[in-house]
């Protein structure tokens, strides 16, 4: 059973709070059990993952029924949504249903059904995530993998039922949904979701009668919190301030420490691997470093070039390609044996695509990514290929190259270099926002006469940019 706390006989008031909606543990079990009663069959359920209690109830209902959950970003445009629905083989839809979606809608039953024991190896969550090219891939996470990943975090963060987790992150990714909701429901702590990850909302919870003990954010969220010193100071009494999903700049680490009196805990993860590296609650927190493997996880650094066979020393300086192994890893990409095989380095090692260094104490620092085609913007992982394909569909675009450029707030911002005539910058931005999730829209379009290409005709993205 993944959500172990839900089988405890004792109730817990305010077990889940999302905005103004509040459920006790018993209330959640009842609502999720009634949702489960309405699930037709045992195929995956696509959950329109708005930041709402409905999403929490639907996801928990599916897990109690032993049916895979496919969280769909609520603003995903038709191109992205159709792909997710087709590829996942979703059999039903939960939440507000767009006209074009014809799947049967889950209608909660009058009586809750009891949780079923499911094969822990069965996919519990199918999370869609971008690759460098093509449409997003569905990472299959089994109940066993999710449980292992969460148990590791309970250990390293000293996370207990006495905690209250606070965040406002999207409920369709590992960070917001698995850590931020399922983590709380597994250990039995409370969770407060602020609907949006705005500094004032985090501060309001911190100053309320029911303050949090752990606050989660991506670096963009922390950047906005330190820009509002009053909000930052409200978090001073928290037990842990946790950052992840993208690199936390050293200056931001220091600023958080200065304003709140405590250094943040940084951790590193991926959709495919959950969280594999983290600083310890009671251990060293080092700016620019993501800490040690969580219990069960192992890491290795392989030479950064195929020609080089010299082992990468643990000197804190030599860069290698990061590979990870452990019980929290996914079971593969849905319908993509090619991509699954490509990510598999043998013996259970997963190629993260990240470049890292490791020091003698086992601390890791992420120094970049192997591919320029994966962009991290606001903590979202975005493949340039998917955006390029949509832009090329626009009649005014002849050629395009999409890259991530440094951005003080978002980490990277999406910039599209376009060869073409007629379309304005805003038209092209809106074109992408209408077809894909909004966060995949370019923040900037630069019109150029030609794209830099090598003699083979391949675009040289590293030569783009200011």
Query: Which residues contact ligand AMP by CB under 6 A?
Result: 129, 174, 244-247, 266-271, 290, 352-354, 366, 369, 376, 381
Binding-site partner at residue 430 among ligand AMP, ligand MLC, none, CB < 5 to 8 Å by type: ligand MLC
Q: Is the Cα dihedral 109, 112, 113, 115 positive or negative?
A: positive
**Interface mask (CB under 6 A) for ligand MLC, residues 368-387, using x and -?**
----------xxx-------
Residue 216 β-bridge partners: 242
Does position 126 interact with ligand MLC (CB under 6 A)? The reply is: no
Judged by CB, which is closer to ligand AMP: 271, or 343? 271
Does position 442 interact with ligand MLC (CB under 6 A)? The reply is: no
**Tokens 């006495």 — which residue?**
162
**Distance between start and end Cα atoms, the chain:** 52
Does position 245 interact with ligand MLC (CB under 6 A)? The reply is: yes
Does position 176 interact with ligand MLC (CB under 6 A)? The reply is: yes
Does position 115 interact with ligand MLC (CB under 6 A)? The reply is: no
Tell me which residue of 436, 460, 359 sits closest to 73, measured CA to CA: 436
Whether the CB-CB separation of 288 and 253 falls below 8 Å is answered with yes
- Least spacing, CB of residue 47 vs ligand MLC, in Å: 16
Judged by CB, which is closer to ligand MLC: 66, or 73? 73
Tell me which residue of 141, 151, 163 sits closest to 71, measured CA to CA: 141
Question: Where do the DSSP E strands lie in 196-291?
Answer: 214-217, 240-243, 265-270, 274-278
Binding-site partner at residue 394 among ligand MLC, ligand AMP, none, CB < 5 to 8 Å by type: none
DSSP code string of 319-340:
-EEEEEESTTS--EETT-HHHH
DSSP code string of 237-257:
G-SEEEE-SS---HHHHHHHH
Q: Using DSSP, state whether 67 is helix, strand or coil.
A: coil
Whether the CB-CB separation of 297 and 155 falls below 8 Å is answered with no
Binding-site partner at residue 352 among ligand AMP, ligand MLC, none, CB < 5 to 8 Å by type: ligand AMP
Whether the CB-CB separation of 12 and 190 falls below 8 Å is answered with yes
Packed helices 25-37 and 53-65: angle between N→C axes, nearest 10 degrees? 70
The span of 279-287, 296-304, 343-351, 436-444 binding ligand MLC (CB under 6 A) equals: 436-444
Does position 244 interact with ligand MLC (CB under 6 A)? The reply is: yes
Does position 414 interact with ligand MLC (CB under 6 A)? The reply is: no
Judged by CB, which is closer to ligand MLC: 287, or 459? 287
**Interface mask (CB under 6 A) for ligand MLC, residues 191-230, using x and -?**
------x--------------------x-xx---------
Distance of alpha carbon 223 from the chain centroid: 18
- Least spacing, CB of residue 280 vs ligand MLC, in Å: 17
Q: Is the Cα dihedral 60, 61, 62, 66 positive or negative?
A: positive
Among 14, 300, 439, 446, binds ligand MLC (CB under 6 A): 439
**Structural tokens at position 65:** 């029924």
Binding-site partner at residue 176 among ligand AMP, ligand MLC, none, CB < 5 to 8 Å by type: ligand MLC
Among 174, 234, 265, 312, binds ligand MLC (CB under 6 A): 174
- Least spacing, CB of residue 322 vs ligand AMP, in Å: 8
The C-alpha atoms of residue 161 and residue 234 are separated, in whole angstroms, by: 23
Judged by CB, which is closer to ligand MLC: 66, or 170? 170
Residues in touch with ligand MLC (CB under 6 A): 169-170, 173-176, 197, 218, 220-221, 244-245, 269-271, 378-380, 429-430, 433, 438-439, 441
């Amino acid at each position: 059973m993944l959500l172990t706390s839900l089988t405890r006989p004792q109730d817990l008031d305010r077990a889940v709070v999302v905005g103004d909606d509040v459920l006790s543990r018993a209330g959640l079990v009842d609502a999720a059990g009634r949702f489960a009663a309405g699930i037709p069959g045992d195929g995956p359920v696509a959950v329109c993952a708005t930041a709402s209690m409905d999403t929490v109830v639907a996801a928990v209902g599916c897990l109690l029924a032993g049916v895979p959950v496919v969280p769909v970003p609520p603003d995903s445009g038709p191109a992205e949504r159709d792909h997710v629905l087709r590829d996942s083989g979703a059999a039903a839809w939960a939440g507000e249903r767009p006209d074009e979606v014809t799947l049967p809608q889950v209608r909660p039953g009058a009586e809750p059904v009891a949780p079923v024991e499911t094969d822990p190896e069965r996919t519990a969550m199918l999370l869609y995530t971008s690759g460098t090219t093509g449409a997003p891939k569905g990472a299959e996470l089994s109940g066993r993998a999710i449980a292992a990943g969460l148990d590791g975090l309970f250990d390293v963060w000293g996370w207990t039922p006495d905690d209250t987790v606070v965040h406002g992150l999207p409920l369709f990714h590992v960070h917001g949904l698995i850590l931020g909701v399922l983590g709380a429901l597994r250990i039995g702590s409370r969770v407060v979701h602020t609907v949006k990850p705005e500094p004032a909302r985090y501060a309001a919870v911190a100053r309320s009668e029911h303050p949090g003990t752990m606050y989660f954010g991506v670096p963009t969220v922390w950047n906005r919190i330190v820009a509002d010193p009053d909000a930052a100071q409200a978090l001073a009494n928290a037990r842990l301030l946790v950052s992840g999903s993208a690199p936390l700049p050293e200056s931001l680490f220091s600023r958080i420490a200065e304003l709140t009196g405590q250094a943040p805990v940084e951790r590193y993860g991926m959709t495919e691997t959950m969280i594999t590296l983290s600083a310890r609650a009671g251990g060293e927190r080092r700016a620019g470093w993501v800490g040690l493997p969580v219990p069960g996880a192992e890491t290795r650094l392989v030479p950064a070039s195929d020609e080089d066979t010299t082992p990468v020393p643990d000197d804190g300086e030599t860069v290698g390609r990061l590979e990870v192994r452990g019980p929290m890893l996914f079971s593969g990409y849905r319908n993509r044996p090619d991509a699954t095989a490509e990510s598999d380095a043998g013996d259970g090692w997963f190629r993260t695509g990240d470049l890292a260094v490791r020091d003698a104490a086992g601390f890791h620092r992420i120094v970049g990514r192997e591919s320029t085609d994966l962009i991290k913007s606001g903590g979202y992982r975005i493949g340039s290929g998917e955006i390029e394909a949509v832009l090329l569909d626009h009649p005014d675009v002849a050629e395009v190259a999409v890259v991530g450029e440094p951005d003080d707030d978002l980490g990277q911002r999406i910039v599209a270099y376009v060869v073409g005539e007629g379309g304005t910058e805003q038209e092209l931005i809106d074109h992408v926002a209408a077809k894909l999730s909004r966060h995949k829209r370019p923040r900037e379009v630069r019109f150029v006469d030609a794209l830099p290409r090598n003699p083979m005709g391949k675009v040289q993205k590293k030569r783009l940019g200011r």
